[in-house]
Amino acid sequence: MDNIRNFSIIAHIDHGKSTLADRIIQECGAVSDRELTKQMMDTMDIEQERGITIKAQSVRLDYVKDGKHYILNLIDTPGHVDFSYEVSKSLASSDGALLIVDAAQGVEAQTIANVYMAMENNLTLIPVINKIDLPAAEPERVAEEIETTIGIDATDAVMISAKTGVGIRELIDAIVDRIPAPVGDPSATTKAIIYDSWFDSYQGAMALVRVFDGEIKTGQMVKLMHNNENHQVLELLYPHPLRRQKTQSIKSGEIGIVILGVKEVGSIRVGDTITDARNPAKEPVGEYAPAKPFVFAGIYPIDTDEFESVRDALDKLKLNDSSLSYEPETSIALGFGFRVGFLGMLHMEVVKERLEREFNLDLIATAPSVVYKVYKTDGTMVEVQNPSELPEPQNIERIEEPYVRATVIVPTDYLGNVITLLTAKRGMQEKMEYLNETRVMLIYVMPMNEIVVDFYDKLKSTSKGYASFDYDPIEFRQGDLVKLDVRVAGDVVDALSVIVPRSSAESRGRALVTNMKEIVPRQLFEVAIQASIGNRVIARETVKSMGKNVTAKCYGGDISRKRKLLDKQKEGKKRMKAIGKVQLPQEAFMSVLKMD
């Protein structure tokens, strides 16, 4: 155990975590130069295409220093705020962390959030200043910023360039010297925590574990503590991006993959403890706090026959993404589907894309919403995730909405733009602090529903991409909120309902019907698109009917012949308007997201 080092790589987005993981893998000789590809740890197509890490990935490496053999278990983590749950799981399985900071950009919002998470887990932090090869790099200024903003000693920060390979060997030596060896009792009964899992078509549910006490052996009968199920260990592997290595046992302090041949997806749960079936541990290692979804949206199959396929796909995806939560729901407009909880908008996009790609599904996602606490006049309280579930206005005493504490770090040149944006989103300033002459940290309290749709995009556009953003949920506060309904041809489309502040309801309603007018296909009859609060219509647009030239065959003759044909057409259109149904395209549901 003295020769094992378990560590995570944490940083803000695009500060070079995955590139550094590639260099460490290369330096340790785990892959040849011919096999090395960019971002080796990002194994999903969607990660490669977007250039972001979505899933934390582990690899076991061998390293020799001063003639002594060491085992390095590296975990590469995501940087985006939506995937911070992946980071927290990884940190709970590590003994130390590399805090990567960009030598040009310096400390960003997510850097601070990750440091707090590492400190909560009592991890040894090694500050690493990356990208020192950039022309704009200022490593000394960034080291000073780490000390003043975060409060950790950066005098022995390791200076590296993950791109060119400068300082990588010194960094690995620092990992061996400064990160403590894992602590555990090799002779005690087996005790291991599952910190990731996924479904394999051939081998069933697979679990990635960190062993704290004892060891797991091939053929051993083990118990899953959350449901008391016993399973036999069929196979044990060490994680590797290309070649997983088989082993007969995973010892105390090590990380490995356990294959139990579990076919039931719900049997394996992230945060659960694996112990020996004959001599079980009395206490579990300690579960992770479950991820709390902030954003809810309906996900419906375009083909209603695929409902069970969507359920099956969500079950399998939940095994790999434990922050996902879902329950069945129905919509008049869309039929049967699921109300799915996400950690943010990027998480929602990624989950929808993974469902479509990995399980070959065609899906519609409705407008995202947050959870509201609705206090009714009869003294009861209900939690509303779906705007269509909101009680009638006369039965509501008050509505409370979730608030977050947002941290934004922005260059001083764009400070005015960002403050204007935060104020427009109902933000209230708590703190403004100059980190240095060029960068400011803003702390604002704002409603969660103002940041779930397009806040991140607007923040990036108003700051030319330089602002960084992180948030923490704090509490529920009373708000003056109303439900905005959309009626198409007189029928309320429940999937398009949104809850908005009363002050901006009219402008939102107008923007929505204007967008919808461009999207709703023209029918043979006139279609009215209305935005309403309760029964009061606040905005309206009309999609003109497609006209057929019924008088084309009339050449000359009495005008009454033409009038007769036109009146007949008008009667038909009137009848169609009364009974006609309008099929809404998927873009209509997305237009709710795009309205400004």
Q: What is the pLDDT of residues 49-66, one digit of tens each?
A: 666 776 677 888 888 888
Q: Where are the beta strands (DSSP E) in 277-422?
A: 295-301, 325-331, 335-342, 363-365, 372-376, 381-384, 396-411
Please say if the pLDDT value at position 334 is more than 50: yes
Q: What is the CATH number of the domain that holds 322?
A: 3.30.70.870
Task: Tell me: do 9 and 105 sit in the same domain.
Answer: yes
Q: Is the domain of 227 the same as that of 248?
A: yes
pLDDT tens, 527-537?
Answer: 788 888 878 88
> What is the distance between the alpha carbons of residues 596 and 594, in angstroms, rounded to a whole number?
6
Distance CA 93, CA 8 (A): 9
Q: Is the pLDDT of residue 156 over 80?
A: yes
Find tokens 């996924």 and name the residue.
198
- Residue 186 lies inside a defined structural domain of this protein: no
CB within 8 A of 383, min separation 6: which ones?
371, 372, 373, 374
Are 318 and 433 found together in one domain?
no
- Same domain for 144 and 195, yes or no, is no
Cα–Cα–Cα angle for 92, 191, 238, rounded to 5 degrees:
70
Q: For residue 36, tell me if it sits in a domain.
A: yes
Q: Compute the distance between CA of residue 18 and CA of residue 57 in angstroms, rounded to an integer.
A: 10
Q: Who contacts 475 (Cβ-Cβ below 8 Å, separation ≥6)?
A: 402, 403
Same domain, 499 and 561: yes
Helices 455-462 + 415-424 axis angle, to 10:
160
pLDDT computed for residue 579 by the predictor: 47
Which of 368, 383, 409 delimits the end of a domain?
A: 368
Q: Indicate whether 372 pLDDT > 80.
A: yes
The verdict on residue 283 lying in a domain is: no
CATH code, domain carrying 229: 2.40.30.10
pLDDT at 549: 67
Of 365, 353, 282, 370, the closest CA to residue 50 belongs to: 353
Residue 163 sits in a domain whose CATH number is 3.40.50.300
Last residue of a domain, one of 368, 394, 421: 368
Query: Which residues fall within 8 angstroms of residue 253, CB to CB, at 6 or more apart?
Result: 1, 4, 6, 181, 182, 183, 184, 211, 212
Question: Same domain for 36 and 113?
Answer: yes
Mean pLDDT (the chain) is: 80
Residue 305 belongs to what domain range?
295-368
| DSSP letter assigned to residue 494 | G
Decide which of 276, 310, 344 is a domain's last residue.
276
**Range scoring the smallest mean pLDDT among 64-78, 278-292, 352-366, 476-490:** 278-292
Domain identity same for 28 and 161 = yes
Kindly report the CATH number assigned to the domain that includes residue 442.
3.30.70.240
What's the average model confidence in pLDDT over 267-281? 82
185 within some domain: no
- 118 with 265, same domain: the answer is no
Strand segments (E) across 78-155:
96-102, 124-130
Distances (CA, A) of 563 to 551, 566, 567, 570: 9, 5, 6, 10
Question: Which residues make up each annotated binding site for GTP?
Answer: 14-19, 130-133
* Residues in a beta bridge with 161: 166
Annotated binding residues: 14-19, 130-133
- Given a contact cutoff of 8 angstroms between Cβ atoms, the answer to whether 236 and 250 are in contact is yes
Could you tell me the maximum CA-CA distance found in the chain, to the nearest angstrom?
108
Q: Is residue 352 part of a domain?
A: yes
Q: Supply the pLDDT for residue 289.
A: 66
- In a domain, residue 196? The reply is yes
| Count: domains in the chain | 5
97 in Cβ contact with 9 (< 8 Å): yes
**Is residue 460 domain-shared with residue 491, that is, in the same domain?**
no
Measured CA to CA, the distance from residue 165 to residue 508 in angstroms comes to 51
**Cα 561 from Cα 557, distance rounded (Å):** 7
Residue 249 lies in a domain: yes
Residue 108 has pLDDT above 70, yes or no: yes
Q: Are residues 216 and 254 in the same domain?
A: yes
What would the mean pLDDT of 488-502 be, rounded to a whole number?
79
Its pTM stands at: 0.73
The verdict on 25 and 164 lying in the same domain is yes
Banded pLDDT at 38 (limits 50, 70, 90): low
2-33 CB burial, b ≥16 within 10 A, e <16: eebbbbbbbbbbbbbbbbbbbbbbbebebbee
Instruction: Record the tokens describing residue 24, joined without a space.
Output: 């460490």
Q: Please state the rounded mean pLDDT for residues 286-303.
A: 77
Task: For residue 489, give the CATH number of its domain.
Answer: 3.30.70.2570
Same domain assignment for residues 145 and 14: yes
Domain presence at residue 285: no
**Residues belonging to the chain:** 596
